[in-house]
Structure 1
Amino acid sequence: MTRRGRTKKMTKNNQRGCETRHPQEDHLPDNAKRRRLDPHPSSGRLLYPDFERPTAQECRDVRDRLMALHGFPQEFEEYRRNADAATHSSEDSGAVQVKSEAGCSDSGGNGVGSSVLDGLVSILLSQNTTDANSRRAFLSLKSAFPTWDDVHAAESKFLENAIRCGGLAHTKAHRIKNILKTLLEKKGKICMEYLRDMPTEKIKTELHQFKGLGPKTVACLLMFHLQKDDFPVDTHVFRITKSIGWIPPSANREKAYLHLNQRIPDNLKFDLNCLFVTHGKHCQRCASGRQPQRAPLGPCPLSGYHAG
């Protein structure tokens, strides 16, 4: 191959990679073997045994400080679990099964009351775009294809057109189609309600069979749509927890996820996560590049935790 031919090929590959390799996309460590981090290390084995932060008291203190500034973020209110929905007793297992089966129908929503599959697709569509654009993409998808069977049967180009307003349409359409195809092949129907009755670690293992689902996507599905105790690490959470010394300086997002899930008490995970995300959008000190997406609400309540 001539030098000109090699250059042309490299340029073409780089152009093709612009959409699939977004720097903030939920992805796995990129190495020769594409090895996955163990989503649930052996019980009792800490990822960073000599790094003892955050303590339970620090978690409570930071939660209370952020809550005093922001209140509980309204944008996450619909996902906030209540005591009645958190657990199901053996006496109502029949009712739960009926609800789960009903959830296989296409609700058209993407909130906590929607089907698990609705929730997963809404998370995929929210990657690398604004909340408003991801909502528009989800509504456009459900308007164009009323059922997930319709989505599965549709040509990829039509699916891409339906979700284009959410960005990365080619990549997201491919992932959605792959999930539906895998469900149909392995379960005989396009439905993910069976996950509701599985323990957290088994859900993580189960979702590893679906290509394109990284740790953050799985964690968001667990916390928001399956009401499990998990702690997703998005760019806001990663940036803030690193700046206040809750994760080792060398930790990447995947290792930060494992570490924080081991250290943060389960009963504080949901509130802390939602508050970190909201705070990262409002606080000038904690925002990316010190350029908050929303108006600041006051001095940063975490100033005593920041290194500098």
Structure 2
Amino acid sequence: TPYPRWPAPSPAESDHVAWLLGRHHGYTPESEGGSGLPHYTPPSGGEGKFAGCGDVQDVLEATIRTILSCNTSGKNSRAAHQSMVAAFGWNDWPRVLAAPEGELEEALRCGGLAKTKARNIQLLLAQTKERFGSLSLQHLHEASDAEVLETLLSFKGCGPKVASCVALFCLGRPEMAVDAHIFRLSKALGWVPPNASRETTYYHLNERIPRHLRYPLHVLLIQHGKACPNCT
């Protein structure tokens, strides 16, 4: 953790907050006949489903979807994904890689930060092909948690948010991905120092929160951050 002297959240506090939020949002323990906290479900195929933070089976597709979701709304990231598919076809990565950068940028313009995202997507595709011989990252399904993060973080434009979302949703790894809602609520809960950044918050929470609580807390903190008028 970047904050070794910051003890929160403890395992007990993580569990307490998970169940406070869980009960508030309709989850009940198995001992009471409920389904427990939110459970990870492996993603289905992605065709026909636009954007989203990595919740598809194909790792390269999940990474590109998550890049499109950065620093914009879900509505805008879906629009950018739809526009890219309309321009280049569904997951036609050779065509996306070969396109002039300005052409991809234009297709992504409706999603915001089009120039940066177009450049990062084409760099991701080029580096993937150069390193692994094809436009595929499916081997990461068999990689260790550390190898998954090391590989994803090595790509330009794939910071902790992109890497952790792909690891969590596409690959089912116990990552505490941090979005704007989780970042805000983590500060409100005193889980990180007031001067923490989103990146240092990610590294701190992944050290402090028990592995089995990372997925449910990720889901519940986002759900609560969107729904609670006192927490926005």
* Counterpart among 133, 143, 155 of residue 210 in structure 1: 155
2:106 is aligned to 161
Query: Residues 55 and 166 of structure 2 are in contact (CA less than 8 Å); yes or no, is this contact kept in structure 1?
Result: no
The answer to whether 1:230 aligns with 2:175 is yes
> Contact 2:153–2:160 at 8 Å: present in 1 too?
no
Gapped regions of structure 1 (runs ≥ 5): 1-45, 73-78, 87-102, 288-308
Ranges of 4+ aligned residues in structure 1 off by more than 6 Å? none
Distance 2:136 2:221 in 1: 32
Q: 1:74-223 counterparts in 2 under 5 A?
A: 80-82=39-41, 107=47, 109=49, 112-146=55-89, 147-223=92-168
Q: TM-score, normalised by structure 2?
A: 0.85
Q: Output the CA distance in 2 between the equivalents of 1:113 and 1:221.
A: 9
Larger Rg: 1
Counterpart Cα distance in 2 of 1:168 and 1:281: 23
1:107 and 1:217 map into 2 onto residues whose CA distance is: 20
Unmatched 5+ stretches in structure 2? 28-37
Per the alignment, residue 270 of structure 1 pairs with 215
Q: CA deviation at 1:139?
A: 2.1
Which digits, 9 at most, give the CA deviation of each residue in 1:188-244, with x for residues without a partner?
Answer: 111111111111111121223211111111111111111100001122111111111
Task: Quote the residue 2:203 is aligned against.
Answer: 258
Offset from partner CA, 1:30-79 (integer Å, 9 cap, x none): xxxxxxxxxxxxxxxx543332211222112211121222247xxxxxx9
Partner of 1:39: none
C-alpha contact (below 8 Å) 1:53/1:247 kept by paired residues: yes
The TM-score, its normalising length taken from structure 1, stands at 0.65
Kindly indicate whether the alpha-carbon contact (under 8 Å) linking 1:233 and 1:257 is maintained by their aligned counterparts in 2: yes
Per the alignment, do residues 187 and 128 of structure 1 end up closer, same or farther by CA in structure 2, a change over 3 Å counting? same
- Whole-Å Cα distance in 2 between the matches of residues 216 and 208 of structure 1? 10
Is 1:284 the counterpart of 2:226? The answer is no
* Per-residue Cα deviation, 1:115-164 (whole angstroms, up to 9, x for no partner): 11111111111112211221121122123212111111111122122222
SS in 1 for 2:212: helix
**CA distance in 1: counterparts of 2:59 and 2:162, whole angstroms:** 13
SS at match of 1:240: helix
| Alignment size in residue pairs | 216
Identity level (%)? 38
CA displacement, residues 84-117 of structure 1 (integer Å, 9 cap, x when unaligned): x69xxxxxxxxxxxxxxxx9xx956556343111
Specify the code of the residue in structure 1 equivalent to 2:206.
N
